[in-house]
Amino acid sequence: MKRSTVLFSLALTFASAGAANAATLDDIKARGSILCGVSGGLAGFAQPDDKGNWTGIDVDFCRALAAAVFNDPTKVKFLPLTAKDRFTALQSREVDLLSRNTTWTSSRDTQLGFNFAGVVYYDAQGFLVRKAAKVSSALELSNTTVCTQSGTTTQLNLADYFRSNNMKYEAVVFNTADEVIKAYESGRCDVFTTDVSQIYAERLKLSKPDDHMILPELISKEPLAPLVRHGDDQWFDIVKWTLFAMLNAEEYDVSQKTLEQRLKSERPDVKRLLGIEGNYGEQLGLTNDWVVRIVRHVGNYGEIFDRNVGEGSRLKIDRGLNKLWNKGGLQYAPPIR
Amino acid sequence: MTDVPVRRERLKASWIFRPGVRSAVIQLLLVGLLVLVGWFIYRTTRQNIITQRIPIGFDFFWIESGFSISQTLIPFSESNTYARAFLVGLLNTLFVSALGVFLATVIGFLVGIGRLSHNWIIARLCGGYVEIIRNLPLLFQILFWYLAVLAALPVPRQSISLFGEVFINNRGILIPKPMFGECIGVVAALAVAGIALSLILATLARRHRIRTGAGMKTWPVALLFVLVAPLFAFFYLKVGVAVDHPVLKGFNFIGGMRVIPEFLALLIALSTYTAGFIAEIVRAGILAVPRGQTEAASALGLRRSSVLRLVVVPQALRVIVPPLTSQYLNLIKNSSLAVSIGYPDLVSVFAGTTLNNTGQAIEILGITMLVYLFISLVISFAMNMYNRRIALKER
């Protein structure tokens, strides 16, 4: 008798837990940390070192969120996910957001049930080949074997490109980025294709990186963006505006170095950004000094770019399209007011 | 002595203690709990789907897939639907599983019998094989064959060439492809009919032998059915055969038939791994036949091969078949490890790429589960039928 009562009440508890379906922000606060789905090991975007410390632009974005919510960038747990598993993990509430070099596409935005919170990195798909193959254009790649990762836009762009140029090819599709680059290095494939930023990172894993070259053709648009589930607008707003805050901070020259000095600024837009005027942070469900927290703990967009993928990193990728809009790039954040 | 009737009074216990009532209550509770859990899962899923506004249904099957697959048993291109991609993945899974089951059985029986051999070297070799193969993780073995063995083969330009016809390189094995004329269908149909007729003939001959004790030579007739008739048709209809040779052109070979290294690695790993277990099952089965049976058969004057074929193996099979079935099922399920080396099986193509591009996780995982369940049940059913046929018939 007693046992069945216990079981029954257990079942009821589960049922009510499912029914509660609380707001993501409340869940996060109750849990004391943000669950952030990241890439399993992609230099510049998300990679753990031998002590388990994560670095990368995607990682720093989640740290910025933790800084905004908790005033503590360490209150975030990183879950490495394969390209194939990432969407299921987000749909099934295993993570609060994906910050996992994921391309923003219409079907992912609609049919998969996600919202994309703005572009962290404007990327494009390219091809890596051996210099010894003496190829100078992607149009010479007919009858090649191409290694790529399963469940990515890359796999589909590849098919589109070869199909539209009437070129034959064989795609060998792997689950993780590591398996792809290993197969390419072993000679299973003539070509390795993925987003160019990722090619830069993966090339470092090859035994002789200088024996390989990236072909000039860029065959797709790959706006890499963090994403959240449909159905929680407040959390979507927080993620979106954290990115905008980092971009605005760079635009108004608020960096880790200049923060203390800029806090004394008389410029109204800087005052609004840093929460000295207005209650824009509270409108989001955060505190008014949210941007101060983000910049103090993590930095502005330019800083995290430089530190992880730009000149200050091993990858040394040119900022290119990712420059601010007023410097000739595409990065443009709506104003905080 | 007076007759005192002994009154046996049945102890009347409370109805709660009756076993029938108790088991009924427990079963009811269990069913109730199951229903509750099922209902809870259904409700949570429904709610999550609604809050996330995910469309559900099976319409995605008819959308153009937009990706390509490296090994297809039926023609497949980017413009084909997800339904066809599903079929391609399923056929690839069945293909590697069927060949794997066949090879594992052959290797397993040889090694199992070899381990019992009186030849010291053969017995030790087979024992070593079993101990090494059985005790290393399967995923490791798959990666070993793929990354350490097959990837170490030369690049296409430096292929190992056998007679200038067969080429072996790190992109696979290329063999010439025979191209038959139009009427090859007639020849194939004749061959199939010939095999069927020969089987019927063999059954009739066996019945005749059991009834009368007189043997019948059937093989000349069977040969006529299976070989001579189709061959005659082949030449009479002038089917003709051309050969499509593999030729190196640019990066890769063109033409011929190609066995991709992903398939080879998976097939080798799956069949050798499962063979290690089958070998032990076979050994156990043979050892389970009492020694007296062999001795009695020898005493009757049967030759050693006849002793094995007529006395030992039929009895050993009774012990072998049930655990053999579970090894077959394991092999089929283990074939899903294909994803780790990029072999396009059902899990990789359907529960991987298709799931990711359409986002229909519940439908796709459900279908995948049902497919594996269905395959396993069919194998199980067939093996149980076979088991019933060879089981000890008590008369």
Q: B252 to chain A: which residues are within 8 Å by CB?
A: 143-145, 170, 190
Contact A297, A276 (CB under 8 A): no
Predicted local distance difference test score (pLDDT) of residue B122: 93
Comparing alpha-carbon positions, the chain B residue that sits nearest to A8 is: B33
Please tell me whether residues A81 and A213 are part of one structural domain.
no
Q: Which residues of B touch A83 (CB under 8 A)?
A: 356
CA distance B376 to B368: 12
Ranges under pLDDT 50 in chain B: none
In the 8-state DSSP scheme, what is residue A120?
Answer: S
Contact: B47, A163; criterion CB under 8 Å: no
Percent of chain A with pLDDT strictly greater than 70: 93
Query: Does the pLDDT at position A8 exceed 60?
Result: no
**Alpha carbon distances (Å) from B169 to A89, A186, B172, B259:** 39, 12, 6, 11
A131 and A192 together in one domain:
yes
Domain co-membership, A113 together with A171: no
Query: In this complex, which of A107, A174, A230 lies closest to B342 when CB atoms are compared?
Result: A174
The single-letter code of the amino acid at A113 is G
Of the candidates A38, A235, A220, A240, the residue with the CA atom closest to the CA atom of residue A119: A240
List of E strands, chain A: 34-39, 47-48, 54-55, 76-81, 97-98, 114-116, 121-123, 125-130, 144-149, 169-174, 191-195, 212-214, 222-224, 227-229
Q: Rounded CA gap, A104 and A114, in Å?
A: 10
Separation in Å, CA of B51 to nearest CA in chain A:
5
Q: Cα–Cα distance between B368 and B98 in angstroms, integer?
A: 18
Q: ipTM, 2 decimals?
A: 0.73
pLDDT of residue A16: 39
The answer to whether residues A167 and A253 belong to one domain is: no
Yes or no, beta carbons of B52 and A170 under 8 Å apart? no
Kindly state whether residues A102 and A175 are assigned to the same domain. Answer: no
Residues A186 and A251 in one domain: no
Residue A156 forms part of a structural domain: yes
Whether pLDDT at A7 is above 50: no
Number of domains in chain A: 3
A249 or B244: whose pLDDT is higher? Answer: A249
Task: Print the SS3 string covering chain B.
Answer: CCCCCCCCCCCCCCHHHCHHHHHHHHHHHHHHHHHHHHHHHHHHHHHHHHHHCCCCCCHHHHCECCCCCCCCCCCCCCCCEHHHHHHHHHHHHHHHHHHHHHHHHHHHHHHHHHHCCCCHHHHHHHHHHHHHHHCCCHHHHHHHHHHHHHHHCCCHHHCEEECCCEEEECCEEEECEEEECCCHHHHHHHHHHHHHHHHHHHHHHHHHHHHHCCCCCCHHHHHHHHHHHHHHHHHHCCCCEEEECCEEECCEEECCEEECHHHHHHHHHHHHHHHHHHHHHHHHHHHHCCHHHHHHHHHCCCCHHHHHHHHHHHHHHHHHHHHHHHHHHHHHHHHHHHHHHCCCCHHHHHHHHHHHHHCCHHHHHHHHHHHHHHHHHHHHHHHHHHHHHHCCCCC
Q: Report chain B residues whose CB lies below 8 A from the CB of A231.
A: 51-53
Residue B172 confidence (pLDDT) = 86
Average pLDDT over residues A260-280: 93
Contact residues for A97 (Cβ-Cβ < 8 A; gap 6+): A34, A36, A37, A62, A65, A90, A117, A226, A227, A228, A235, A239
Is residue A328 included in any domain, yes or no? no
Interface test with chain A among B31, B34, B37, B68, by most A beta carbons within 10 Å: B68
Report residue B270 as tokens.
């799956």
pLDDT confidence of A41, banded at 50, 70, 90? confident
How far away is chain B from the Cα of A160, in angstroms, using its nearest Cα?
Answer: 7
For residue A184, the chain B residue with the least C-alpha distance is B151
Residue A215 has a pLDDT of 93
CB A115 within 8 A of CB A109: yes
Which residues, other chains included, contact A298 with Cβ-Cβ below 8 Å and sequence gap of 6+? A60, A63, A64, A67, A73, A246, A304
Which pLDDT band holds residue A3 (cuts at 50, 70, 90)?
very low
User: Taking CA atoms, what residue in A is nearest to B47?
Assistant: A19
The mean pLDDT value for A290-314 works out to 94
Top residue of B27, B357, B363, B364 to mutate, by most chain A CBs within 10 Å, is B357
Closest among A105, A100, A62, A108 to A242, alpha carbons compared? A62
Residue A145 lies in a domain: yes
Give the strand pairing for B241-244 and B177-180.
antiparallel
Token digits for A89? 């993990």
Question: A18 falls in which pLDDT band (50, 70, 90)?
Answer: very low
Residues B71-85 pLDDT 10s: 888 889 888 999 999
- A10 and A159 inside one domain: no
When CB atoms are compared, the residue of A160, A182, A230 closest to B52 is A230
Q: Which domain holds residue A70?
A: 3-122+224-232
Q: What is the pLDDT of residue B49?
A: 77
The size of the A-B interface in CB pairs under 8 A is 144
Question: Which among A220, A255, A271 is the end of a domain?
Answer: A220
Identify the domain boundary among A190, A220, A250: A220
CB contact under 8 A, B170 and A142: no
Q: Do A87 and B356 touch (CB under 8 A)?
A: yes
Same-domain check for residues A301 and A207: no
Q: Is residue A113 part of a domain?
A: yes
Domain-embedded: residue A262: yes
Could B342 and A179 be called an inter-chain contact, meaning their C-beta atoms sit closer than 8 Å?
yes
Determine phi and psi for B22, rounding to 5 degrees. Answer: -60, -50
CATH number at residue A31: 3.40.190.10
Residue A331 falls inside a structural domain: no
Q: What is the pLDDT of residues A152-207, one digit of tens each?
A: 888 889 999 999 999 989 899 988 888 899 899 988 899 999 999 999 999 988 99
Nearest to A182 among B147, B152, B361 (CB): B147
pLDDT score recorded for residue B11:
65
Q: Tell me, yes or no, whether A91 and A78 share the same domain.
A: yes
* Mean pLDDT, all residues of chain A: 89
Residue of A nearest to B258 (CA): A170
Do A13 and A61 reside in the same domain of the chain?
A: yes
Smallest Cβ distance to B359: which of A7, A111, A147?
A111
CA distance A311 to B332: 50
Cβ-nearest to A4 among B29, B170, B358: B29
Same domain, A262 and A278: yes
In a domain, A334, yes or no: no
Of A186, A220, A254, the position where a domain reaches its end is: A220
**pLDDT (tens digit, 9 = 90+) per residue, A87-117?**
989 988 899 999 999 999 998 998 888 999 9
Q: What is the pLDDT of residue A54?
A: 94
Cβ-defined contact of A18 to B44 (cutoff 8 Å): yes
Q: Are residues A109 and A8 in the same domain?
A: yes
Separation between Cα atoms, residue A202 and residue B180, nearest integer Å: 46
Among A79-88, A303-312, B42-51, name the most confident range: A303-312
Cα separation, B43 vs B27, whole angstroms: 24
φ and ψ at residue B153, rounded to 5 degrees: -65, 160
Q: Which residue of B has its CA nearest to A130?
A: B251
Tell me the C-alpha to C-alpha distance, in Å, between residue A195 and each of A36, A304, A322, B14, B84: 22, 19, 14, 76, 28
Residues 6+ apart with CB under 8 A from A254: A262, A270, A273, A274, A291, A295, A300
A-chain residue closest to B341, CA distance: A174
B246: tokens are 């593999």
DSSP reduced 3-state for A125: strand
- Predicted confidence at residue B10, as pLDDT, reads 64
pLDDT at position B8: 62
Nearest to B130 by CA among B276, B272, B284, B278: B276
Is A61 a domain residue? Answer: yes
